[in-house]
Each structure stands twice: as structure tokens, then as C-alpha cells.
Amino acid sequence: MSLEEDIVSDDEMNMIDEDSATDSEAESLSDSDTENEITEKLAEPTKTAVYNRDGLLDKLQDISWPEDVDWTHKLTVEIDQGQAVDVNDDLAREMAFYTQALEGTRQAFGKLNEMGVNFLRPANYYAEMVKSDIHMEKVKSRLLHEKKQIEESEERRKARDNKRMAKEVQSQKMKERAKQKKDDIESVKKWRKQRQQSGFSDKAGEPELDFESGKSFQRGGGKKRPGVSPGDRSGGKGRPTSRMGNKKREFRDSKFGHGGRKGLSKQNTAETTNDFRGGFRGGRAGGNKRQKR
């Protein structure tokens, strides 16, 4: 685990404490009672407080070990803290402790190294640890869980970003396509004008191009009915369910219909206007058929 991670976790741990930030210490994790207004220290030190310096020094003399005690008995290191540490800044405080420990360890290890003592635990030295294996398993699973969560959230964010990007790309493409189309139409128009101006306007040779409306070369509004004859009003459905069961009925159904629009089949077209072959009574095809029979 790197230093940064460690510190971050420390910080998280102190997050809950931060509501009691005015205290000189962070409150414990479970008690979240806030003591915002009241500081834990008196603003001014009381004058009546006892301070028996001689007594303290006497006691220190009493209990302290002899002067010439070997350092290996004590294993103490003093580290200068540098400038004063702000207690309420959790990160700075923890960092100060960490650097103190690190510096101290470096000095102590230097001393131990000089003495030539083996002080590092060999890899094959197994012994009881302070925390049990079960507990360390828990710690590990928690770390893994945290890592997984971070990864998952990262993935989600990535997916979101991708989606946004795709949308943008799509809209860009659409715009491009529209522009392309417009340019094409423009160019054709230009070409046509040029042709007209140069006196090449051959009506028969020029195909009827209806670019302006944006429609392609389709007849009948693009409505195709496979298997149905052009005049058929039944939409091809008359045949299988013909009631008379003969061709006549079929024909009649297709002519007079079973619903649908009637109008067009009775109207004259360009060809039938001056065509009197079928007489006035009948249409062109039906009448003919009937007469023939």
C-alpha cells in the first residue's frame, strides 16, 4: 500500500469526526455528538493550577534509568516536528505523525545497522501476529471490495462518456449528410440551368427529374402492391374468398369491389377519353368481355 492510499484512508476515517472540528481532538467514530460551540480548552490557562517543577524533576530523577544505559534498552528516537501542526487539519496532523515515525525509524535502523544486529524479520520466520489471520482476511476483502467499487464506478462513468460522444458523432454525421444532399441538388440545378442556357433543352431527351420535391423516381407514390393488378380494389383479397366461386364473381369483385375507393376505375384516363370501342355503357375491359361472351 502506498503512502497516498494510506493517508486517504486515514482521512476517510476522520471524515466522520469532522463535525466536531472545533474540538482539540476528533471525537470517536461512534459518538457523533457535535460540540461545535464549546471548545474543550479554556481560552486562558487558570492561574491557580499547581506546577511543582522541583517535585517533577525529583520524581524524574527517581524513576529514570541510569545514565549509561545502552540505547538498545530504550529504543527511543527524538524527532523535531518542525513548525507547529494544526490539530484540526486531519491530513496535516496525520502526515506529521507519519513523517515523525518514518524519520525515527530511519535513524533507529541506521543505529541498529551500525551495531550489526539482525533486526529484520526473515521471510521464513513465522510467529503469532498482533492481528489474527481471520481479521487480516477481512481487511483484505474490504480493500478488494473498495477497489472493485472504484473500478465499477469508473466503468460506469466511461460508458456514460462514450454514450455522450456517440450521440455527438451521430448528430455530426446527420448534419454532414444533409449538407451533402443539399450540395448535390444544388449542383444538378446548376447543370440544368447551364444546359438550358446553352440551348440544349430537348424535352424528350431530358428525363423528368423531380429533385426539388426530394422524391426519387417512383410512380404511384411509392405504394407497391405485389400480386395485385392495378385496378384491383379488393387489394388481391377478393380471389380466395370469392362467394360465387367463379371467374365472373372474381372479376366483379375486382371491378366493383368489396369496399375501397371506387372512383378511379370509373374515371376516364388519357387513353379512354376518345376511345369509344366499348360503347357508352361499359368500361373498356369489362364491357368488352361481356360483349364477347
Residues 107-146 close enough to bind another protein by CB under 8 A: 108-110, 112-113, 118-123, 125, 127-131, 135-136, 138-139, 142-143
- Kindly report the backbone phi and psi dihedral angles of residue 279, in degrees, each rounded to the nearest multiple of 5, phi listed first: 70, 180
Q: Name the one residue in this structure whose C-alpha cell is 388519357.
A: 270
| Contact between 94 and 101 (Cβ < 8 Å) | no
Residue type, 134: I
Per CB under 8 A, does 83 bind another protein?
no
By C-beta, is 37 or 271 nearer to another protein? 37
Distances in Å between the Cα of 41 and the Cα atoms of 38, 46, 237 are 9, 11, 98
26-45 positions binding another protein, by CB under 8 A: 26-31, 35, 37-38, 40-42, 45
Per CB under 8 A, does 78 bind another protein?
yes
By C-beta, is 55 or 279 nearer to another protein? 55
Three cell numbers written together for 225: 402492391
Among residues 82, 91, 107, 74, the alpha carbon closest in space to that of 11 is found at: 91
Min dist CB 178 to another protein, Å, is: 57
Q: Cβ contacts of residue 64 below 8 Å, gap of 6+? A: none
Min dist CB 96 to another protein, Å, is: 7
Three cell numbers written together for 153: 464506478
46-75 positions binding another protein, by CB under 8 A: 46-47, 49-53, 55-57, 59-60, 62-66, 68-70, 72-75
Per CB under 8 A, does 271 bind another protein?
no
Min dist CB 120 to another protein, Å, is: 5
